[in-house]
Structure 1
Amino acid sequence: MAEPSRIPLDRLPTPCLLLDEARLHANVAGMRAHLEGLGVTLRPHLKTAKSLDVARIAMASPSGPATVSTLLEAEYFAAGGVRDMIYAVGIAPAKLPRVAAIRAGGADLAVILDSLEQADAVAEHARASGDAVPVLIEVDADGHRSGVAPGDRDTLAAIGRRLAAGGAALRGVLLHAGDSYALSDPAALTAAAEAERVAAVTAADALRAAGLPCPVVSVGSTPTARFARDLTGITEVRAGVFMLGDLFQAGVGSVAVEDIALSVLATVIGHQRTKGWIVVDAGWMALSRDRGTARQAVDQGYGLVCDMAGRPYPDLIVRDANQEHGILALRSGSGAALPDLAVGAQVRILPNHACATGAQHDRYHILDEEGRVAAVWPRINGW
């Protein structure tokens, strides 16, 4: 971790990625307190952060627990001392040797799966290697993407038995309520969290009834984590984007705009005054092409534009973006005044999707409470 003398933002090359450390700490503390009040452990998902420095703030200890979404993340965090991890993407058989290498280095890396074919591959690997790879069965919380139906007792039991026959270790069940991302009503989000809990407990009970172990019952998404009111039967919650926040989650209601810790610093490079445009040097290569808020009640374009203190300008968004050019303009129908931003002025842009915007950058410039750069934290990308 580099520690520059506290430098002002106007000395940074743009575009670049900023992270407000105080907001990051507050977001983590708030989620941890909420989940501890419900009697469960937070297993932070590091797919958004992709940074050991952020991980050490988010995790309960330097060794974990943690969730990852790529094996590169698992390798990177393992090298940094993280020992308790779940690779929360369905395992491809060809990746098992890489999983084995990470585990051989001392990390307790678990994998997930939802089919007999995957179970057979893991069992064969365990049989041949002698490595009792820990496995969680992915269960479908809401029809969003993948997983065994929670009421499909036969398939759950069959997967568990095949794993056991090969010497793999059945560790439990894992769910992700992806449909919660399409919601915004608090009552509906609370109901989604309860549906996720019920699905998880149903699947866990099915395994136990079949005489199979299920010590871990893992659920998680930022919306359901935030709106859960009862987590009886759950052992841990995985969530990640809440740490940094983004406009999509603000549209869901999982975070407030003022909680968003991530922004992109950009410089004004021109104007099209007759069109009401301000042009900056941050296009979709710096912001990402994610337009998820277009499906929400408030369309934030490619990002919400803020002043250097992180305060949003009224109705000023990145209306359009090319590869290296961002077009700032007022929302259609707005009565706000376009701010007077001269060439060379800087702005901060809040992202639609923290994961996608972060993936465009290899480092965070860490802001202190005075808005100066206190450190540079590396982050990784890739698989």
Structure 2
Amino acid sequence: MRTDYLISDIPTPAVLLDKQRLAANCQRMSDRAARAGVQLRPHLKTAKSAQVAALATAGQFGGITVSTLAEMRYFFDAGYRDLTYAVGIVPPKMAAIEELMEQGARIRIVLDSVAAVESLAARPTRYRGEVPVLIEIDCGGHRAGVSAQSEELLAIAQCIAATSGLTLDGVLTHAGHSYHANSTAARTEIAEAERDAAVLAAQRLRAAGHACRTVSIGSTPTALTDIPLDGVTEIRPGVYVFFDLSQAALGVCELEDIAASVLATVIGHQHESGHLLIDAGALALSKDVSASEFRSDVGYGLVCDLDGKLIPGLHVADAHQEHGFVKSTEGALAFERFPIGSRLRVLPNHACMTVAPYDAYYVLTGDGPSLQRWDKTSGW
């Protein structure tokens, strides 16, 4: 692995990773899973990188979660064989899944309606094995899934049991609405509801005579509460590997825990409007402003120096496609401090959105100025 990259030579925009912070974040979640007595199946839609996966799965059973077919193939090629494809499945995507299963992968798919099961039952296929299915449960976010108390839950299970080529493996839920809970009490309440919905669904399925081996929950804010996880078999958090400004605004992490930042170059001075221009705009940072729900000084990201130290008051106030507008909330901006060609780092609002389009990470190892380059996947 090449280690002679220097931060001054890296073309911008680029994503920098702090390996020490990354490792500490991974260990924190690993310790949480161990205390709770559950397996950790990290959701690698955030990092999309085999090197990050190696840290996130260290000491675990090796299973991972993905959200795209591209991620599934990439991680299979990297040696990961136990995968959950945690997005509702449709027939055109099944050929890619079955191809990998024929090559030795164990892939669990997610369904949340009788209609979805019937659409798979009607598809032509040459695959002769059984595909494990998780029924998605709505625990309060109302994005997808069925209520744990609904009759539809049992109807879906019955339909799976009657469909050749499918087998019920368990239930899955995700408390995505925890990303709006900025107090320990609020996150705890959502975490308890997430756990209870999944456990209740599993109990009802078993009482009706269906096997329910897996009870899977997961979101970073709820996983990092201290509630007991009795009845749960695994957690699937994702953004914890990097953390971001949104998680810090919620109180889930500190700013010093954020492992990912965008390296950008100052490309202009706009004296009349009082902002710096950097070459990291909406495509490089995303237009996610989720941290602004809880603090007003963030914009599209907080600005750091090359050592990763926050520069007080500096934030990306606006973002066009390839331009970021850096302004100060602490009076006039000192343009002479940031000459054209100088470089800055930007902490992202939502790391998953920010890092997705990049094809690699440049990794600060803490062993000197040289950086490593870690590959990643992208696309669908």
* Fraction of identical pairs, as percent: 47
Cα distance change of structure 1 residues 218 and 196 upon mapping to structure 2, 3 Å threshold: same
The 1-side partners of 2:213 and 2:296 are apart by 42
Checking the alignment, whether the CA contact within 8 Å between 1:112 and 1:135 is kept in structure 2 is yes
Q: Of 332, 337, 341, which residue of structure 1 is paired with 2:338?
A: 341
The residue correspondences of 1:245-324 to structure 2 (distance < 5 A) are: 245-324=243-322
So what's the TM-score if we normalise by structure 2?
Answer: 0.94
Gaps of 5+ in 2: none
Cα distance change of structure 1 residues 107 and 299 upon mapping to structure 2, 3 Å threshold: farther
The residue correspondences of 1:197-276 to structure 2 (distance < 5 A) are: 197-276=195-274
Cα distance change of structure 1 residues 382 and 127 upon mapping to structure 2, 3 Å threshold: closer
Structure 1 counterpart of 2:192, which letter? Answer: E
Structure 1 counterpart of 2:235, which letter? Answer: V
The 2-side partners of 1:338 and 1:315 are apart by 12
The residue correspondences of 1:174-185 to structure 2 (distance < 5 A) are: 174-185=172-183
CA-based RMSD: 1.9
Cα distance change of structure 1 residues 106 and 299 upon mapping to structure 2, 3 Å threshold: farther
The residue correspondences of 1:120-199 to structure 2 (distance < 5 A) are: 120-123=118-121, 129-152=127-150, 154-167=151-164, 168-199=166-197
Cα distance change of structure 1 residues 54 and 291 upon mapping to structure 2, 3 Å threshold: same
Cα distance change of structure 1 residues 73 and 156 upon mapping to structure 2, 3 Å threshold: same
SS of alignment partner, residue 162 of structure 2? helix
- Please report how far the alpha carbon of residue 372 of structure 1 lies from its aligned counterpart in structure 2 after TM superposition: 2.8
- Please report how far the alpha carbon of residue 63 of structure 1 lies from its aligned counterpart in structure 2 after TM superposition: 7.8
Checking the alignment, whether the CA contact within 8 Å between 1:62 and 1:82 is kept in structure 2 is no
**Residues 131-188 of structure 1: CA distance to partner in whole angstroms, max 9, x if unpaired?**
2100000000104301010111x22222112212224211100000011111101111
- Please report how far the alpha carbon of residue 4 of structure 1 lies from its aligned counterpart in structure 2 after TM superposition: 2.9
**Residues 280-320 of structure 1: CA distance to partner in whole angstroms, max 9, x if unpaired?**
12111211122222322344111110011101111210111
Cα distance change of structure 1 residues 127 and 376 upon mapping to structure 2, 3 Å threshold: closer
What residue in structure 2 maps to residue 108 of structure 1?
Answer: 106
**Residues 226-275 of structure 1: CA distance to partner in whole angstroms, max 9, x if unpaired?**
12421111000001101011111111222211111101111112212343
The 1-side partners of 2:350 and 2:299 are apart by 12
Q: Of 62, 66, 69, which residue of structure 2 is paired with 1:71?
A: 69
What residue in structure 1 maps to residue 377 of structure 2?
Answer: 380
The 2-side partners of 1:8 and 1:18 are apart by 11
What residue in structure 1 maps to residue 358 of structure 2?
Answer: 361
Cα distance change of structure 1 residues 262 and 192 upon mapping to structure 2, 3 Å threshold: same
Count of matched residue positions in the alignment of Structure 1 and Structure 2: 378
What residue in structure 2 maps to residue 4 of structure 1?
Answer: 3
So what's the TM-score if we normalise by structure 1?
Answer: 0.94
**Residues 4-58 of structure 1: CA distance to partner in whole angstroms, max 9, x if unpaired?**
32x4311211111111111110000011101211111110000010111111111
The residue correspondences of 1:89-104 to structure 2 (distance < 5 A) are: 89-104=87-102
Checking the alignment, whether the CA contact within 8 Å between 2:68 and 2:85 is kept in structure 1 is yes
- Please report how far the alpha carbon of residue 337 of structure 1 lies from its aligned counterpart in structure 2 after TM superposition: 6.5
Say if 2:349 is the partner of 1:352: yes
Checking the alignment, whether the CA contact within 8 Å between 1:263 and 1:348 is kept in structure 2 is yes
The 2-side partners of 1:179 and 1:72 are apart by 26
The 1-side partners of 2:113 and 2:267 are apart by 53
SS of alignment partner, residue 15 of structure 2? strand
The 2-side partners of 1:15 and 1:291 are apart by 19
SS of alignment partner, residue 224 of structure 2? helix
Structure 2 counterpart of 1:248, which letter? Answer: S
Cα distance change of structure 1 residues 224 and 380 upon mapping to structure 2, 3 Å threshold: same
Checking the alignment, whether the CA contact within 8 Å between 2:218 and 2:235 is kept in structure 1 is yes
The 2-side partners of 1:302 and 1:44 are apart by 26
Q: Once structures 1 and 2 are overlaid, which stretch shifts more, 246-255 or 42-51?
A: 246-255
SS of alignment partner, residue 11 of structure 1? coil
Checking the alignment, whether the CA contact within 8 Å between 1:63 and 1:84 is kept in structure 2 is no
Checking the alignment, whether the CA contact within 8 Å between 1:127 and 1:166 is kept in structure 2 is no
Cα distance change of structure 1 residues 254 and 261 upon mapping to structure 2, 3 Å threshold: same
**Residues 205-244 of structure 1: CA distance to partner in whole angstroms, max 9, x if unpaired?**
0100101011100000011011242111100000110101
Cα distance change of structure 1 residues 272 and 335 upon mapping to structure 2, 3 Å threshold: closer
Checking the alignment, whether the CA contact within 8 Å between 1:122 and 1:163 is kept in structure 2 is no
Checking the alignment, whether the CA contact within 8 Å between 1:288 and 1:360 is kept in structure 2 is no
